[in-house]
Amino acid sequence: MTTRAGFVALIGEPNAGKSTLTNQMVGAKVSIVTHKVQTTRARIRGVALQGESQIVFVDTPGLFRPRRRLDRAMVAAAWGGAADADIIVLMIEAHRGVTKGVEAILEGLEEIGKGRKIALAINKIDRVKSEVLLALSKDLNERYDFVETFMISAEKGHGCAHLKEWIAGELPEGPWLYPEDQIADLPMRMIAAEITREKLTLRLHQELPYQMTVETEQWEERKDGSARVDQMIYVMRDGHKGIVLGNKGETIKAVSKAAREELEEFMGRRIHLFLQVKVRPNWLEEKERYSEMGLDFRDGNT
């Protein structure tokens, strides 16, 4: 059977219901973290499976802060992952309609939307009468040429299965992007990696090796409620390894402690964090697909 996989960017104003919809589609386990994903720079909201399709929901942090008219490059940068997603789903709140924020988003879509599959999901339909809904749908479709329009209630689940099926069928054919056993804790893995990267950045300042990345390789739940987290810090050259380790390992020890403390606070539980450093010279090529999506952790010195 043919598998499909790809990235779906859920966009919309704050409160549009992006987390609620992700939870509907992904399932309960991820929901605890997805609300917090926004507080970090990690960009995966969650991964859902539908038939033979793997749907990776990505986030667009900082996208819709009020701002003046943007030029194309700025729009593309601000849109980050969304600009490269296979499918974009714009979520609108039915009872709020076309706000200034929505207008700004539509303007952004004009810039980056060409040739992309962009669907409209009017959410919170439980809050309005059907006449209002139809008028809003008409208005929005006149403003932008959406490939599909869905009327949903992310909270109550109405229309969500239909939307998910549509997404699954529209994704490009190809192998799954993440192994099945990693899906549930993927956002946590990414958050944990991002925290460590941030601590490294704080500690190393200008010394920070160019192009360094952190990956969470293993996330193991323990019976006592704690978790063991193994991370690898990848650098490009041998010399960089020494910088990350520091004199007698003092740098990595300090980073590990700071990262563990933050992670424990974030997760509200005990974490055993293990860091290792490895040289991976061809890392740039491997990460290409991911960096396009904004899924890697940006180069150390940016």
Which one of residues 4, 41, 124, 287 is an interface residue with ligand GTP (CB under 6 A)?
124
Strand, coil or helix: what is 197?
helix
Q: Residue 223 in 3-state DSSP?
A: coil
| Stretch binding ligand GTP (CB under 6 A), from 9-17, 231-239, 244-252, 276-284 | 9-17
What span, in angstroms and rounded, lies between the C-alpha atoms of 39 and 246? 29
Smallest CA-to-CA distance from 13 within 112, 124, 114, 116 is with 124
Burial class (CB in 10 A: 0-12, 13-18, 19+), 197: buried
Q: How far is the CB of 23 from ligand GTP (least distance, A)?
A: 8
Per rule CB under 6 A, count of chain residues that contact ligand GTP: 17
Among 148, 155, 230, 262, binds ligand GTP (CB under 6 A): 155
Among 8, 11, 19, 208, binds ligand GTP (CB under 6 A): 19
Q: With CB under 6 A as the contact rule, which of the stretches 16-24, 80-88, 114-122, 221-229 interacts with ligand GTP?
A: 16-24
- Scanning 15-23, 129-137, 207-215, 217-225 for contacts with ligand GTP by CB under 6 A, the matching segment is 15-23
Query: Judged by CB, which is closer to ligand GTP: 16, or 293?
Result: 16
Separation of alpha carbons 232 and 276, rounded Å? 5
Report if residue 153 touches ligand GTP, rule: CB under 6 A. yes
Cβ pair 47, 57 in contact under 8 A: yes
126/292 with CB nearer ligand GTP: 126
Contact call for residue 87 and ligand GTP (CB under 6 A): no
Instruction: Give Cα 78 distance to the centre of its chain.
Output: 14
Please state the φ and ψ torsions of residue 98, each to the nearest 5 degrees. Answer: -85, 95
DSSP state of 62: T
Q: Mark the segment that binds ligand GTP (CB under 6 A) among 8-16, 161-169, 209-217, 268-276.
A: 8-16
Give the footprint of ligand GTP on residues 26-45 (CB under 6 A): 38
* 154 scored as a contact of ligand GTP (CB under 6 A): yes
Task: Give contact residues for ligand GTP (rule: CB under 6 A).
Answer: 12, 14-20, 38, 123-124, 126-127, 153-156
